Each structure stands twice: as structure tokens, then as C-alpha cells.
Amino acid sequence: MSGDPLVSVRNLEKYYPVDTGLFSRTESYVKAVDGVSFDIMPGETFAVVGESGCGKTTLGKTVARLYEATGGTIAFEGQDITDLDGKALRQLRRDIQVVYQDPSSSLNPRRRIGAIVKEPLAVHDVGTKAERDERVAELLRRVDLPVEFRHRYPNALSGGQKQRVAIARALAVEPKFVVLDEPTSALDVSVQAKVISLLDDLQDELDLTYLLISHDLSLVKNVADRIGVMYLGNLMEVTDSRTLFENPVNPYTEQLLSAIPVVESGEQSLKPPSVEVRGETPDPKDPPSGCPFHPRCHRAFDACDAVDPELVEVEDGHQTRCLHDPGPKAEAVAEHRSDDVTQEGVTED
Amino acid sequence: MADPILSVDDLSVEFETYEGRHHVLDGVDLTVEEGETVALVGETGCGKSVTAKSIMGTLPRPPGEITSGSITYDGTGLLADADAHARVQGEEMSMIFQDPMTYLSPVYPVGSMMADVATYSGGEDVSWLGMLKNLLGRRANRGEIRERSIELLDRMRIPDPEGTLDRYPVELSGGMRQRVIVAMALINDPTFLIADEPTTALDVTVQDQILSLLRERVEERDLSMLYITHNLGVAREIADRICIMYAGEIVEVGTTEEIFDAPLHPYTRGLLDSIPKLTGFEGDGIDGQIPDYTDPPTGCRFHPRCPAAMAGTCDVEPVESHAVGDDRAVACHLYEDGMSFGEAATVAEEEAGGPTDEPVTAEAGGEP
Amino acid sequence: MSNSETVTADDPGVLERRREDLNRVVYRFKQNPMSILGLCIIFGFVFIAIFAPYIAPYPNDAGYQNQPAVHFDQKFESPSAEHLFGTDQAGRDIFSRVLFGTRLSLRIGVVVLAAAVSIGVPVGLVAGYLGGGVGMALMRITDVFLSVPPLVLALAVSVALEPNLTNVMLAIAAVWWPWYARLTYGEVLSVKEETYVEASRGIGATSTRTIFREILPNVLAPITVKMSLDMGYAILVAASLGFLGLGAQPPTPEWGTMVSQGRDYMPAQWWYSTFPGLAIFLIVLGFNFLGDGLRDMFDVEVQ
């Protein structure tokens, strides 16, 4: 891949303070996003997959500047946007838009579809009133909705139609970058496919760059160019979508892939060898020591509960966060191994 | 073959609301053999939960009304005899719900709820004194129930089952709660389980674990199960046989392999195509949306969305279920006169070439 | 504008759909027959208020057109065809005075609620949306007002000021707005969490725009319900103050004042207090029924 990234995220952190007790003064945090770095190239779809509570939605919304980052930087077209505020931030909204998970809640039930789609144009004072009306009609047509829907309220629409409205709204101000936060997970499969192919067409046509947040690996495989697998606020593995499914190196990815229910016999052969899936995401208020995944990991060894791995590159464009590929943490791992010589996981690599 | 343990015949259910009468279920036929797991698969609003509620006898009436049909469980007609229904529901059936938190009370520990289920279900009368004693924790067979609960939780692979009994639902994770629900459903040794989307709210890794536990339990005790889901992948994991439901009608029935290897009904095929797969994803979904139940399409209810709809047939003649081989049925005009899949596919292709691909129109109403 | 014409042209069903929306509202409203009764009562009173000069047999007895009339020769006549509700100590027709009292009562209700809403709702909106220190401060001030019994506070205000109709309304509004602030605040807190509010920020809308375009329309339903329930109470409080001599002063045909004056002549001249009292009872009942109906219709919870 060449050229400059459109979006560049470095060591992004989003911590939420939690009340540890009524009289306790000790500060405690939920590390929803805990030092995440990635680049998104222009025209690319970068997907972040993970289970509920892994921080993927927080990551997406922090990148879109809906939430304030507590650490790290976000650069958009080379410009640091982490601390933009006021007018500059509102201007940035023209370039970065978000499509939310549940269209029933992202559309104001008391406003008509026309007003909802027109809102970004009104906010940014684009065109005359007649031009805006014309643009709304054009947008509705573009997302395959009849123009007369503009007079309806969201409740009169089905889930898929509502999500089309949300997409039309996001595209109204011609953004360059769109964060898609689980855009189809609230929809039925037969509708989901339509929305996905619409998003795909729009990307080609309008030269959009997507950050796709999803929990559905099968979906992501077909839509994304590159994928980041997230667990407890950390990216565990980042690579292109083909490699992720053919040659996953992180144990968490292996478990995720094993757990996908498939519908075609051909699919089974495309999954890496099944591993035992165990445990559940721990309470993010009280994450495990060392590698966050080690209590559930089928390949954990003695160093895993003590040393926190870093995301390291194992081959070109393929990063993993696992002590089996320790990178700069090799020394720390070696130290722990010398303490105790039971090394279960070593042979597997 | 022996009689099925559960059979639903020609079940029709209507709902009375402001918009008018919703003809939700339209002649649903469904059988579950002893020891078999049948998955009822359909999308939002297709009537699968209404079917389950009718079987469990928990359909709210009014506004719901069963206008025709019968439900037979192990030779007993349930709809005609409310007492028998209550007895069967209490003693032989158990239900597993989608959202554990609406089923578990936040103010009782898990053990107390399990004990209540063990004591009260089955519909026997419990005296006031007995109830008071139970409330005070002086249940007659307290030790025995506790032991059974611990054993069940242990089988559901809940770590520290004894400690879990004294915990409150909020202290458990989503996956653990769902395990508790399954354990609770099994405590009275039911012979028939109805599972209503029990893994929909869970992560894939947790779903995978619950499904294999459920499968283990069902096999071990030779339970019969009706598993309701919108996820074909899940249905494939758990079911022996699959019924595909669309707009209040069962459109296709077949064994799991048959449904996935050679789907017959255009809706089933569209549904399968819509699912993103690891092998690729070229599906365009299905045009249109679920019809308005106050005025369902005439003829086949799927015809306005069907790529293979035959004008003059599908929109006029009511569709009947055609048997295709053993245990296989499809409700589609393409398969009349014993037409094979190959022939039907040709007809379908010819029809699909025509101008059937209408855009979404304003007339297509929202989901009810 | 030409554009809006094309809009109606390409969608002739707009009016029809609006009518359908209306039908649906009417249907849900009708589910509760009491609300229909309430609505009829309110319409009745509004009708009376508007056409009082034409309905009332002796408008001047109620001080109409500043031509107060007294007929001492007709004092304390019991109800008859000529004087439906009888006459008072100055020989004035009580029926006419009760009819004119409707105007006053409705005016009190409307003015009080308008004042209470226009203070309370903005306070609640700002406190709820901004939260933090500002929200806290505003809500604590509100709590201070709420901690004083309303009638006592209203009494204090109207005693401190000169007792007359304007001050009564002022006094009641002063004790009423905190309830609207509290209600709005609670509603805003929940609406604020909806994704469309976040989406509005994501579009680049200013806070003011978000509050007025996205939040306000979604908190109006419970406020409307509370208003219709409160109309009755506001009228009742005004009547109570009138009864205590702190509201409208005689000879203003205010119901509470009339009940109070009639008290001296009970039970012999029972009609003097009874008919204004019945009017108060009816109007409060009507607004309560209506409020209940609206609540069912909007399906909202009101404290």
C-alpha cells in the first residue's frame, strides 16, 4: 500500500472513570480503548471486529470525535484533529460522518424523513432552501427510497428503510470518511444484504473511506479490505481480510473463527482448524493482568499472566499482539520462562 | 413411524388492533418427533414467536385469537382443553427465553428461583402454609432440590455451582445467566423444550458454548425440542429438521442437510443467499419486505417479493404444501404436480427474466 | 414556492396520511371514554367562556362592560326559571355570575400554566442537557421551591403583594414552575441518551439547535399531559386563594370568592355557595379526565 493514510490513529486511549465506592477517592478506570494504533488508506474499508464490550464502538466514535479521547492522537488528512473544538470541529463533521447501529434510535421519531435528511445541510448552511429540497430528493433516490418518503415519520418505515435514511443523512454533506457502527446488526439478513451492497456501491461511486465496526466475521470478510480484531480495548491482530481467515496467528482470532456458525459446507474448509472456545469476556473494570486474553487462551503459557504483549509485525502488514510473537517483549518473556520450565505453548508455533 | 410428540395442524391466529384484523398465522403445520430437534427459522415478524406462544398457551387473548387448527401433544388436544394445556405446559414443557434478565427476578438469588421452579411448576396446588414455609426458606425437600440444582449448574459448566446458587442474576455475566436459564428449564425433567432465540443476545464465542451444552443435554435426556431462531447458521448447528417460516406460513420443511444443500422454496434460497459467507457473498438480499398482515397478499404470501413469481398463478391461487420425498415439503406453486427441483429451477429462471424486479414502492407498508 | 408544489404533486397521499394519523389519535383517545367526557366538559366551559355575554341572562350582574348592576329588591331569591341559580345578597343573578366566572377561571389557568411552563421548561432543558455544575445548581434552586408547600408559598406571595387577580396568578406561577423544571429535567436526561441526539452532534449542530430540534419535541408529550392535569389544580388553587380572601376581590365574579361570600348565608341560602362550588368541581374533574386520556394516548408516565 502506498500514499498517505486518510486517517491515522496513534496510541488512542479512551478511559472512563468508575466509582469504586461511596467514599473511596481512589481513581479507577474502565479502559474502553487502551492504546490503539492503525492507519486507514483513502478508499479503503478498515473493519474492527470484536465481541460486545470490547470497545469497538467506543473506538469508532472516538475516531469520529463524538467522544473525547483521553490519550493518543487522531490525524485526518495529515492534520491532528484530536483537540479540535468549537467551529473547527463542526467544520470537520462535514468530512467525517457516522452511521449508527440501531436506526430506530438514531432517527428522531418526531421529525419527518425529509427534515432528518436535510438537517446536515441546514446545519452547515448548504445551498438555498430549494436546492436543499432537491438534494434530499436526490439522496433518497440514491439510497433506493421513494422520494415521497420525505413526508413520513420514521415509525412508518421498516428497519432496512430507516437505515437507508440514516445513510442518506450521513452522505448529505459529502463526507470523505464514514464510520459505520454495526450498520446491519439490527436488520434481518435479507435486508442486511441489500444495505451492505448499497454501502458498497456508494463507496465506489463517492470514493468513500469506511471504518466498519462489526461483530460479524463473515460479513467483515466480504466487505473489508483490512481487519483489526479487538479484545478488551486492544487490537489483537491486524491484517488484510484474506490473511486473517487463512492464516490467523493470534489465539483470540482462532477462537472467534471457530465459533462462527456457518451455513455452507464449503465454508468449513475455509476456517482454520477448530480450537476449543472457552470463557467469556471478563469485566472490563477488572481486566486480567498480563495479556488480557490469557485466562481464556488455549495457548497461554507461564509468561502470559505477567507480561502484557505489544502489537508487533510478524510479516508485511500483519500485526499480532501475543507473547508467542513477543517482539520487544522477548526479554521479559524469557525472564518468566527461566522461573518455571513448564512451557506448554512453545511447541505450537 | 410413531406419532409425533407435538403436532400443530392448520393453526391460524389473528390479532385485533386499530389497523384492523391482523391475519398473523395462516394454517401452520408443524410436527416434532420424539427425541428430535426442530428449528423454526424466520425473520422478524414472521410469526415464529406467536407459534411458540400458542403452543405454550401464553398467547395473549385478546388481542390474539386462535381461529382454527389444533395443537396435539402426545395424543392430547391442547386447544380444546385448557386444563390439559396447563398440565402439559407445567409438567412436560419448558421454555428458554431470549433475554434472561426479563425472566430472572433481580431480587432473588439463583438458588431460590430454581427451587421455586422445582416446587411450583406442574400446576399442583400448594397450600398457603407451604408457600409461606417456602418463602422462609423451609422448603420440605430443600436439601434435595439444592443438590439437584447444583448438579444441573455443574452440568452447564458453571464454575462454582454451589456459590452461584447464592448469587443474584446481576452478579452473573450474560452467558452465565443463559446457562442458569437452561438449567432452570431442565430442573423438572421436561420432555419437551421450546427455546426462543436463546443465544441471540450473546457473543459468538458464548453462543457456541451454549449451543453445544444444549445439544449435549438434549441428546443425553432424549428431549424433543422446538428451537426458534432467525439465524440459519445456528439452526444448522442444533437442528435435525428445519421449518422455514415466512409471513405466518411454513414455506419449507426438510432435514437440516436437505435445506442447506438443496433449498427448494425461493424464499429459503433468497435467505441463504443473503447470508454473508466465508466463501463469498454475492447475494443481493430479497426485495421488498414482510407484508401487511391486515391485508396479506392473495395467493402465495411471498409472491410480491418472489423472483420466480408466475403471474396468474402465484398471485391468485392459494398455495398448498407439496410433499417432495420423505419428510420434505414445500409450499410453492413451482413444485406442483411433483415437479423436481431441476424443472422448477428452469421455470423460476424463466420467470425471473421477466420484469419482476420492482423497486421498493410507497405502498409497501412498514412492519406491523 | 414551486418546489413545495411539486412535492405535493408527486405525493397526493400526504393529506390522507395526516388524516390517518389523526384517526389513530382519535382511536386511542376513544379507548378511554372518561377522556371523551372530560373533553366535552372542557369544550362546554370554553364555549361558555366565549359566549358568556350572549348566554348569560343578566350580563351586567356579573359586571359585564363595567356596568355592575345591583337589584337589592331581588336579593336572595331561590333558584327559579328567572334566576336558575338564584340570586345573591345584592340581588345579582348567580347563574350569570357563574358563567362569567368561567372566563376568569380559564384565564387564570392559562396564564398560570403559560408562565410556569415558560420558566420551568427552559430551566429543565438547560439543566438536563448541560448537566454538571450548572445543571446541579439549577436543580437545587428548583428543589428549594419544591420544598415549600405550594399553597403556603402562594399565600405568602399574595399576602406580600396586594391581593388581586394578577398577583394571584403571579403567586401560583411562582409555585408551579419547579414542577415543570423537574419533569423536563427528568425527560431530558433520558432523551439525551438517544442516538439521534448524538447524531445531531455528529452532524455538527450547535447545542441550541440540538436542544430545540431534537430534544424539545420529544419531551413535549409528558409536559402536555401534565399541563392538562394541572389546569384543574391551578383553577382550584386560585379558587382557594379567592376563598381565603387573598385572590380576586368581590364583586369580581370569581368562583372561589363567591363560595367564600356565600358561606355566610349557609345553609338558608344554600344556592349561593353551591353553584360556584359545583362549577369548580366540574372544571377540575374535566381537566383530570382529559389529562388521564392524554396520558394513555401518549403512553407516558407523569409523576
Q: Which domains does chain B have, with CATH numbers?
A: 102-189 (3.40.50.300)
Q: Residue C216: its pLDDT value, please?
A: 92
Q: Residue B357: its pLDDT value, please?
A: 39
In chain C, residues with a C-beta closer than 8 Å to the C-beta of B362 are 11, 13
| Torsion (CA) C79, C81, C85, C87 in degrees, nearest 10 | -70
Q: Of all helices (H) and strands (E), which one includes residue A241?
A: helix A241-246
Q: Residue A279: its pLDDT value, please?
A: 78
Q: Which chains have 3 or more CB–CB distances shorter than 8 Å to chain B?
A: A, C
CA atoms of A98 and A179, how far apart (whole Å): 5
Of A349 and C133, more confident: C133
For B203, which of A51, A190, A265 is closest by C-beta distance? A51
B234 touching A (Cβ < 8 Å): yes
Grid cell at residue A257: 473463527
Choose among C34, C45, C117, C46: nearest CA to C297: C34
Are the CB atoms for C283 and C236 separated by under 8 Å? no
Res. B82: pLDDT tops 80: no
Which residue in chain C is spatially nearest to A148 when comparing CA positions?
A: C11
Q: Residue B130: its pLDDT value, please?
A: 67
For B289, which of A160, A221, A265 is closest by C-beta distance? A160
Ordered strands of the A234-240 beta sheet: A96-99, A177-181, A209-214, A45-49, A226-231, A234-240, A318-320, A312-315
What average pLDDT does the structure give for chain B?
79
Contact residues of B toward C, CB < 8 A: 18, 362
* Range among A32-46, A321-335, C237-251 with highest mean pLDDT value: A32-46
What superfamily does domain C31-55+92-298 belong to in CATH? MetI-like (1.10.3720.10)
CA atoms of B112 and A340, how far apart (whole Å): 45
For range B331-336, the mean pLDDT: 80
Q: Work out the minimum CA distance from A269 to partner chain B, whole angstroms.
A: 9
Q: Residue C10: its pLDDT value, please?
A: 41
**CA angle, A225 as apex, A223 and A228 as ends, to 5°?**
100
Record: contact A190-B260, CB cut-off 8 A: no
In chain C, where the domains are located: 31-55+92-298
Grid cell at residue A3: 500514499
For chain B, how long is the longest CA-to-CA vector? 73
Record: contact B18-C13, CB cut-off 8 A: no
C24 touching B (Cβ < 8 Å): yes
Q: Residue B9: its pLDDT value, please?
A: 87
**What are the pLDDT digits (tens) for A117-131?**
999 999 998 888 899
Q: Work out the minimum CA distance from C210 to partner chain B, whole angstroms.
A: 28
CA atoms of A323 and A335, how far apart (whole Å): 13
Res. B203: pLDDT tops 60: yes
Record: contact A215-B43, CB cut-off 8 A: no
**What one-character-per-residue DSSP string does chain C give?**
-HHHHHHHHH-TTHHHHHHHHHHHHHHHHHT-HHHHHHHHHHHHHHHHHHHHHHH-S-GGGGTGGG-----GGGTTPPS-SSSTT-B-TT--BHHHHHHHHHHHHHHHHHHHHHHHHHHHHHHHHHHHHH-HHHHHHHHHHHHHHHTS-HHHHHHHHHHHS--SHHHHHHHHHHHHHHHHHHHHHHHHHHHTTSHHHHHHHHHT--HHHIIIIIIHHHHHHHHHHHHHHHHHHHHHHHHHHHHTTSSSPTTS--HHHHHHHHHTTTTTTTHHHHHHHHHHHHHHHHHHHHHHHHHHHHT----
Of C122 and B297, more confident: C122
Name the band, by pLDDT with cuts 50, 70 and 90, for residue B359.
Answer: very low
CATH 3.10.20.30 for the A7-95+175-348 domain, yes or no: no
**Helix C216-243 and helix C255-263: axis angle, to 10°?**
20
Q: Residue B363: its pLDDT value, please?
A: 38
Res. A107: pLDDT tops 90: yes
In chain C, residues with a C-beta closer than 8 Å to the C-beta of B18 are 24, 27-28
Q: Residue B355: its pLDDT value, please?
A: 40
Q: Residue C13: its pLDDT value, please?
A: 52
**What one-character-per-residue DSSP string does B231-261 give?**
-HHHHHHH-SEEEEEETTEEEEEEEHHHHHH
Res. B205: pLDDT tops 90: no
In chain A, residues with a C-beta closer than 8 Å to the C-beta of C199 are 98, 100, 106, 166, 169
CA atoms of A178 and A212, how far apart (whole Å): 8
CA-based R_g, chain B, Å: 22
Residues of chain C with pLDDT under 70: 1-18, 20-21, 24, 299-303
Are the CB atoms for B332 and B265 separated by under 8 Å? yes
Grid cell at residue B225: 425440542
- Least confident interval from A216-230, B9-23, B138-152, C103-117: B138-152
Distances (CA, A) of C122 to C178, C210, C234, C298: 11, 14, 20, 22
CA atoms of A286 and B90, how far apart (whole Å): 41
Name the percent of chain B lying above pLDDT 90: 4
Of B42 and B64, more confident: B42
Record: contact A277-B205, CB cut-off 8 A: yes
Res. B354: pLDDT tops 60: no
Q: Is the peptide bond before C267 cis (omega within 30 degrees of 0)?
A: yes
**What are the pLDDT digits (tens) for A265-286?**
777 777 777 777 777 778 777 8
B283 touching A (Cβ < 8 Å): yes
The contacts of residue A347 (CB under 8 Å, 6+ apart) are none
Say if strands A45-49 and A226-231 run parallel, antiparallel, or are unpaired.
Answer: parallel
Name the percent of chain B lying above pLDDT 70: 85
Q: Work out the minimum CA distance from C11 to partner chain B, whole angstroms.
A: 10
